[in-house]
Structure 1
Amino acid sequence: MARRAEELKGIVGPVAEKLGRMESEIGRLERERRQAQGELAQMVRQLGEGVGTLRQEAGNLVSALKRPSTRGAWGEIQLRNVVEMAGMVSHCDFVEQSTIQTGEGVLRPDMLVRLPGGKLVVVDSKVPLDAYLSAIEAPEGEERELHCARHARQTRDHIGKLAAKGYQRQFDSTPEFVVMFVPSDGIYQAALAEDPALIEYGVSQQVLMATPTTLIGLLWAVHYGWRQELIAESAREIAESARELHNRLGRFVEPFAKAGRQLDSAVSAYNEAVGSFDHRVIPQVRRIEQAGAASERAVSAPSAVEITARAITSRQAPAEEELPARRLEAAPEPPSERIAAGA
């Protein structure tokens, strides 16, 4: 029996040892599970707090945007960001909040964008957000449709009020339209979905609706026009400089030719004096030398100048249609022949 017990103990011992190790592993896994569950619960609580804070901030933002002054400031900030994104610079390419004195009072458009040639485009920011936010908060159904319809009416009213100000009539150098900037594509699309005739109505009122995307395209076109204007201005300056240079060269040729003629006269007078010296003075000098009354310095007749000043003989430039034919004629004479001809 004792031996049998020892055999059973030898068999059961490894099993008990393995069961002990398994129990320890299960305990470790259970502790890790509880720890992970606690961390997950903590993360969920933090996420819930973040969502609550986000909901509160979103609510505060919605409440702030329901105030007209806040909506206007937000629209102006968005307008400035879009214009700067298009590569324009304040006080160079655009002016903000410029005051206009009219017979009916003071007008202050949000922005004046400068165009090539001294032109201006008036841009005014409008944020029809009251009914749009109500439509978003409203449940699906008739209530939301009513708010959407009211949003479209508010957008149409903004177009009418902007057209009534007549910004384009206050400037002599502005196109016959005003740009109404809507700072959100969603606001614009919601109004257009409810009232598809808004674009036609705006055009009839000389008001062009623009979202951030379309305004960037418009401003890029303006920027391209500015570059073309600068290129054209540079070309005009170059042409004017060339014309002035041509005029000055024409004036310079006359005294230059006169100087050449006077050089010829001086050479002729010099040669005449040399001839007189050679025929009238030198013989007397030789007689003095033969008489033994000469000084130590020798007297010799100066040589005559045989080269005359070259005359300006180039003709007027041929007309453009005659240039190709004349270029096909004989090649110009060598430099030595031209010098000989000028001499």
Structure 2
Amino acid sequence: MQIIFYLIFTILGLSIGIFIGILFSKTKSAGVYAELDFLKKDIEKKEKEYAALNSKIELEFKNIANSILVDSNKKVQSESQDNLKNLLSPLQTKLGEFQNRLEQNMQNQTKDSTSLKEQIKHLTDLNKQIGDEAARLTNALKGEAKTRGDWGEMILERLLETSGLTKGEHYLTQKQFQNSKGMAIRPDVILLLPENRHLIVDSKVSLVAYDLIFSTDDEAERKLNRKAHVDSMRKHVDDLAKKDYTQIPELNCFDLVFMFVPIEQAFIEAVNERPSLYEEAFKQNVVIITPSTLLATLRLVQTIWQQENQNKNALQIAEAGGKLFDKISLYVESLEEVGTNIDRAKKSFSTAKKRLVEGNGNILSQANKLKELGSKTTKALLELTSEQEDES
């Protein structure tokens, strides 16, 4: 701003100097000096005025600059606050959501903890109940042979139901017969096979000696208990072999009979003690099976029945196809007969038509003559005649 004022003063001084020179050159009178003195004073006055004006302008410029700076600071501060607010607002929202989720999770954890405690208590009670029932069942199975037999039969029937076989269609339970000697005999399960074949399954539970194996830490006693357990299994095999289910007239049984041992480990303990047990039983036509091997056997029976049903369906389809072919043959014969009758009808129609419209003295010509002679008619025969002429 000062540079501008200096330029103005310089130009003004040059202008005044030129003006003074002109006046001095034109007039060389004594009044020139007086004029110069006036001009000097006026210049000094103008310089003071310009200095005051410069100071005033500088002050105003500073005030304007300060005002602009203050406004800019306020604007920047306002924008900074807005930007900070925009930046912190989503964060505040997220923090609120996080706090709500945290509170909800704490509530859920409290509920889950309460529910878990209840479930643990329920499982504890259930475990105690199962333990008590298992103890009662063990005592019952150790006590009466019939109780053990009923329990083994129950396990056997559950496996049958699990296998997908249908009672009454694929197997029978506790059906009583008489053998060739007239003695009552009742197998636990009869597996029904295609072609009217039958397979017997009897459940045998050896639990007393087996339980004693694990009730002592004395190895000598354990060995005696294992031997007693094997002897019990051998006795079941002998008893089952003596029944000879093949002598039941109503059944078409295989020579083999399955002896079901519901406790897998009981069979393993017996075989470990006497490895030849399975072979000895097989020689007496008795096959010892456990839940795992029984399930495989039942699955095989189910597969056999599926194949049998497929074969039956194939036979039925073939039979139905043969019947359908016979019906088609009869239908073709009927169509040929209908065609023959149609040909005959055409010939008869052609003969009748000729008699009606062709030849001398045909029926139509005689009818037209009657009409010409004055017979009253309601229909004309000309169209029929024309059609016949067109066809001829």
- TM-score computed with the length of structure 1 as normaliser: 0.68
Matches of residues 193-342 of structure 1 in structure 2 within 5 Å?
193-279=272-358, 280-293=362-375, 295-300=377-382, 301=384
Q: CA deviation at 1:285?
A: 2.6
- Deviation string for 1:25-58 (max 9, x for gaps)? xxxxxxxxxxxxxxxxxxxxxx9xx98x998766
- Cα pair 1:98 1:109 within 8 Å, conserved: yes
Q: Which residue of 2 aligns with 1:94?
A: 171
Aligned residues: CA RMSD: 2.6
Matches of residues 52-63 of structure 1 in structure 2 within 5 Å?
60-63=136-139
- Cα pair 1:71 1:127 within 8 Å, conserved: yes
Q: Which residue of 2 aligns with 1:82?
A: 159
Q: Which residue of 2 aligns with 1:141?
A: 219
- Cα pair 1:152 1:191 within 8 Å, conserved: yes
- Cα pair 1:168 1:178 within 8 Å, conserved: no
3-state SS of paired residue (1:177): strand
- Deviation string for 1:108-144 (max 9, x for gaps)? 1111122233322111000112211222213231111
Q: CA deviation at 1:164?
A: 0.7
Go from structure 1 to structure 2 and tell me whether the alpha carbon gap of 1:73 and 1:236 turns closer, same or farther (over 3 Å shift): same
Which stretches in structure 1 are left out of the alignment for 5+ residues?
Answer: 1-46, 308-343
Go from structure 1 to structure 2 and tell me whether the alpha carbon gap of 1:108 and 1:209 turns closer, same or farther (over 3 Å shift): same
Q: Which residue of 2 aligns with 1:151?
A: 229
Q: CA deviation at 1:82?
A: 1.3
- Deviation string for 1:60-115 (max 9, x for gaps)? 44332222111111111111111112122332322111101122410011111222
Q: Distance in 2 between matches of 1:248 and 1:289?
A: 56
Query: Of the two structures, which has the highest relative contact order with CA contacts closer than 8 Å and spacing of 6 or more?
Result: 1
Q: CA deviation at 1:255?
A: 3.2
The residue type paired with residue 167 of structure 1 is Y
Matches of residues 83-122 of structure 1 in structure 2 within 5 Å?
83-102=160-179, 103-122=181-200
- Cα pair 2:198 2:251 within 8 Å, conserved: no
Go from structure 1 to structure 2 and tell me whether the alpha carbon gap of 1:89 and 1:255 turns closer, same or farther (over 3 Å shift): closer
- Deviation string for 1:142-189 (max 9, x for gaps)? 111011012112111211110110113425432221110000101110
Whichever of the two has the greater Rg, that structure is: 2
The residue type paired with residue 291 of structure 1 is L
- Cα pair 2:190 2:200 within 8 Å, conserved: yes
3-state SS of paired residue (1:123): strand
- Cα pair 1:109 1:123 within 8 Å, conserved: yes
- Deviation string for 1:167-220 (max 9, x for gaps)? 134254322211100001011101111111111112211111111111011101
Structure 2 counterpart of 1:130, from 190, 193, 208: 208
Q: CA deviation at 1:256?
A: 2.9
Q: Distance in 2 between matches of 1:291 and 1:217?
A: 105
- Cα pair 1:64 1:70 within 8 Å, conserved: yes
The residue type paired with residue 112 of structure 1 is I
Q: Which residue of 2 aligns with 1:334?
A: none
3-state SS of paired residue (2:161): helix
3-state SS of paired residue (1:114): strand
The residue type paired with residue 194 of structure 2 is P
Q: Distance in 2 between matches of 1:200 and 1:216?
A: 21
Q: Distance in 2 between matches of 1:297 and 1:107?
A: 97
- Deviation string for 1:304-337 (max 9, x for gaps)? 6xx9xxxxxxxxxxxxxxxxxxxxxxxxxxxxxx
- Cα pair 2:193 2:301 within 8 Å, conserved: yes
3-state SS of paired residue (2:214): helix
Which stretches in structure 2 are left out of the alignment for 5+ residues?
Answer: 1-123
Q: Distance in 2 between matches of 1:293 and 1:86?
A: 96
Q: Distance in 1 between matches of 2:297 and 2:241?
A: 20
Go from structure 1 to structure 2 and tell me whether the alpha carbon gap of 1:55 and 1:95 turns closer, same or farther (over 3 Å shift): closer
3-state SS of paired residue (2:255): coil
Go from structure 1 to structure 2 and tell me whether the alpha carbon gap of 1:57 and 1:126 turns closer, same or farther (over 3 Å shift): same
Q: Distance in 1 between matches of 2:132 and 2:302?
A: 42
- Cα pair 1:112 1:122 within 8 Å, conserved: yes
Identity across matched positions, percent: 29
- Cα pair 1:126 1:158 within 8 Å, conserved: yes
The residue type paired with residue 71 of structure 1 is R
Go from structure 1 to structure 2 and tell me whether the alpha carbon gap of 1:54 and 1:234 turns closer, same or farther (over 3 Å shift): closer
3-state SS of paired residue (1:175): strand
- TM-score computed with the length of structure 2 as normaliser: 0.60
- Cα pair 2:259 2:288 within 8 Å, conserved: yes
3-state SS of paired residue (2:351): helix
- Cα pair 2:246 2:254 within 8 Å, conserved: yes
3-state SS of paired residue (2:165): coil
